[in-house]
């Protein structure tokens, strides 16, 4: 029987693990630096947005100038929304309890829309607008949904497909979030291991194998559970179920 690649050699970390840890550390550093850069982008972007809006309010602006300023305004607003999304996602602060699940889903879908577009994946939502409140921090909930959704997009790297995010009210004021893709699915032997720390089928540098482990831990710390069902060649569906607020 073959053993999985040794991660530890006589108590010393293996070359492969060191490479992966070094890469993760680099990406974490890059994340911190990017958050600073993005923060700096905010101020000039708001200047561009408000200045272009002032020009658009002028009366004697030739039509072709108006059209160009209009485009500048739209693009600057798009960038500004993106930078706000990145800052909000990178924030370490707790946003405070009682996340609005549907709003959080909308935030995540906006945030990952470029990643989806790049792969030709269409994003779909099916939101139940009568959800009970959940006593969950919205930044934590964002991270849970983004981890699962990014895995789905990475699985659909080949291009095309659909990613559906659904919210549902369940029994006992529970709330479920379903994240379903039309990707390649997960083979049975891998399915049993996806929540293990460091289990990954991605090449070193592309995956750490920590995403679902962290995600499941976050969900369980909230008193919830995470389930997965997958069918090779058809797709994968994750369901996160969170306890609702006790009435009264
Ligand atoms: N939606 C999905 N479709 C196919 N495989 C998936 C999906 N989500 C997770 N996986 C599998 O689970 C593994 C573990 O995921 P994760 O813990 O997030 O680590 P990573 O993304 O770093 O590999 C992935 O490497 C992949 O094989
Ligand atoms: Mg992952």
> How far, in Å, is the centroid of ligand 2 from the Cα of 210?
7
207 DSSP assignment:
B
Q: What is the pLDDT of residue 211?
A: 94
pLDDT level of residue 64 (50, 70, 90 thresholds): very high
pLDDT at 146 over 90: yes
Examine the domain organization and report whether 134 and 203 are in the same domain. Answer: yes
Examine the domain organization and report whether 36 and 129 are in the same domain. Answer: no
> How far, in Å, is the centroid of ligand 1 from the Cα of 160?
18
- From the CA of 208, give the closest atom in ligand 1: 22
pLDDT level of residue 8 (50, 70, 90 thresholds): low
Q: Which ligand is nearest to the CA of 209?
A: 1
Cβ of residue 235 lying under 6 Å from some atom of ligand 1: no
Averaged pLDDT of the chain: 90
Q: Which of 90, 119, 146 is the last residue of a domain?
A: 90
Examine the domain organization and report whether 116 and 233 are in the same domain. Answer: yes
Examine the domain organization and report whether 76 and 106 are in the same domain. Answer: no
Entry pTM: 0.84
> How far, in Å, is the centroid of ligand 2 from the Cα of 149?
9
Q: Which of 90, 116, 140 is the last residue of a domain?
A: 90
Instruction: Please state at what angle helix 211-221 crosses helix 138-155, rounded to 10 degrees.
Output: 150
Examine the domain organization and report whether 150 and 30 are in the same domain. Answer: no
* Tally of structural domains, the chain: 2
**76 part of a folded domain:** yes
pLDDT at 247 over 90: no
Is the CB of residue 237 less than 8 Å from the CB of residue 230?
A: yes
> How far, in Å, is the centroid of ligand 1 from the Cα of 151?
5
pLDDT level of residue 17 (50, 70, 90 thresholds): confident
pLDDT level of residue 79 (50, 70, 90 thresholds): very high
Is the CB of residue 98 less than 8 Å from the CB of residue 133?
A: yes
Cβ of residue 186 lying under 6 Å from some atom of ligand 1: yes
Q: What is the pLDDT of residue 238?
A: 98
- The parent domain of residue 198 ranges over 101-242
At 160-205, the pLDDT tens digits run 899 999 999 998 889 999 999 999 999 999 999 999 998 999 987 7
Q: Which of 7-21, 67-81, 178-192 has the lowest mean pLDDT?
A: 7-21
Residues with Cβ within 8 Å of 205's Cβ and at least 6 positions away in sequence, in order, are: 19, 20, 23
**96 part of a folded domain:** no
Examine the domain organization and report whether 171 and 209 are in the same domain. Answer: yes
């Amino acid at each position: 029987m073959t053993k999985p690649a040794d991660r530890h050699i006589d108590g010393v970390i293996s070359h492969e693990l060191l490479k992966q840890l070094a890469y993760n550390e680099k990406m974490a550093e890059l994340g911190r630096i990017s958050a600073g850069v993005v923060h700096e982008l905010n101020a000039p972007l708001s200047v561009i947005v408000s200045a272009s809006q002032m020009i658009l309010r002028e009366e004697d602006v030739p039509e072709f100038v108006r059209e160009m300023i209009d485009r500048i305004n739209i693009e600057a607003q798009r960038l500004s929304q993106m930078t706000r999304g990145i800052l909000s996602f990178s924030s370490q602060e707790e946003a405070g309890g009682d996340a609005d699940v549907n709003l959080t889903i909308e935030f995540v879908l906006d945030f990952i829309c470029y990643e989806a577009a790049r792969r030709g994946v269409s994003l779909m939502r099916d939101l139940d607008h009568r959800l009970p409140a959940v006593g969950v921090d919205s930044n934590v909930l964002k991270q849970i949904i983004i981890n699962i959704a990014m895995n789905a997009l990475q699985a659909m790297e080949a291009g095309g497909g659909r990613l559906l995010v659904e919210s549902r009210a369940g029994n006992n004021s529970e709330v479920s979030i379903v994240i379903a893709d039309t990707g390649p699915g997960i083979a049975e032997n891998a399915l049993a291991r996806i929540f293990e720390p460091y289990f990954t089928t991605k090449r070193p540098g592309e995956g750490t194998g920590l995403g679902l482990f962290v995600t499941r831990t976050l969900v369980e710390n909230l008193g919830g559970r995470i389930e997965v069902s997958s069918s090779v060649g058809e797709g994968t569906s994750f369901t996160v179920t969170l306890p609702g607020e006790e009435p009264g």
